[in-house]
Structure 1
């Protein structure tokens, strides 16, 4: 096998490679943040007592789960500027297009995760919090949100890892993330094994770091859950607000 360790280690420390890793991380974090925010909104619409809002949320989830992320990426980059003149401006970069497409795609999956999490929370806790005189906004931030985070950390962590890998799709619109930088370097050196191995190592490291963070988050919120286990809805609400 024609494998040169010197080329491999050179790839790992290449400034171009490291810059690609930086863009990959930035795109993952930004797209995931917007995707989670939009997903929470869609989940709340799915739980709305008003049927038209539920229908809109269901339609959004259906469309974005049915159509591949790559199709949305190409649509946002190539077709959206033709439909909306505002997207023809200089601000609309490949990074912006990738962020929009990946965030909207993630929102559909995050919405279902959030909806499942909301359904798993005892309705009596919300009623008990309201009985204590807490306004709806405080009920959500002090009672609902901590439990919602705890039950959604595992599935959303999987979504984060998926998002990290989906950023490689942005190479098709010339965003110079990790895969695009790898392909550029391979095209100039023809060292396929070394450069793709280096890219794989970076993906493994990034995912491993996040898995450690995930474990710490789970440990934190499992501790909160144990502190309030086996209590009534009213007592649980009081304990949750005290813990926060």
Structure 2
């Protein structure tokens, strides 16, 4: 393995890593607030909203992400009468699949965070004269996020690894370029380099969430 060969394959792999990071950022930025919306729906007094949120969470968590991606990319376009209007760019379709899937997982994480808050916190807020908005934004949400942060961190790390599923829907990400190099050059070196890149990304993500945990712990 020469330095020249490493230079030859590293740029395509980094190009694929850019796609991986882009998908991760889009999925996190959109799925976390969407997951919180589903948490609110699941805890509302409206039975229809509760049923919809719980059914959505059950379906999205109960079926493989791979199946959901294949359905959005290849299944929606062949639905009779409306399929032609549901054709999307592969990357856009993949982003949609990841956001919808991970929103369900984040919804359950936030629900667990809400359930972990002592009922006395609600009573104390009422005694202090806080209205519902003040109680939610100043007391409940900060505590919920602090409790849910470790689980959000774990799910985010899982997400960045799951981006490898883009390979199944023909979106050129990190694993795609690694596999291409392996098939072309008959060497497993690109797999090792791809693994190192994934490890570096998860290392940075872990360090970021550790910093957030320390920040919220000492506030």
| Residue 118 (structure 2) aligns with | 122
The superposition leaves residues 185-218 of structure 1 with CA deviations (integer Å, 9 ceiling, x where unpaired) of 2222222x21000000001111111111111111
Aligned to 2:152: 156
Partner in structure 1 of residue 7 of structure 2: 10
CA distance in 1, matches of 2:8, 2:144: 42
Identify the match of residue 217 of structure 1 among 187, 212, 215.
Answer: 212
Partners of 2:67 and 2:57 lie apart in 1 by: 16
- The 5 A counterparts of 1:1-244 are 4=1, 6=3, 9-10=6-7, 14-83=10-79, 84=82, 85-88=84-87, 92-130=88-126, 132-191=128-187, 193-224=188-219
TM-score (norm 2): 0.90
| Contact residue 31 and residue 99 of structure 1 kept, 8 A | yes
TM-score when normalising by structure 1: 0.81
CA contact (8 A) 1:65 1:109 kept: yes
Q: 1:222 to 1:11 in 2, by over 3 A?
A: farther
Rate the CA distance shift 1:61–1:9 in 2: closer, same or farther, 3 A: same
User: C-alpha separation between the residues in 1 aligned to 2:76 and 2:135?
Assistant: 39
Cα root mean square deviation, aligned: 1.9
Q: Which runs of 5+ in 2 are unaligned?
A: none
Q: CA deviation at 1:124?
A: 3.5
Task: Call closer, same or farther: CA 1:68–1:149 in 2, change over 3 Å.
Answer: same
- 5+ residue gaps, structure 1: 225-244
What is the count of residue pairs matched by the alignment? 216
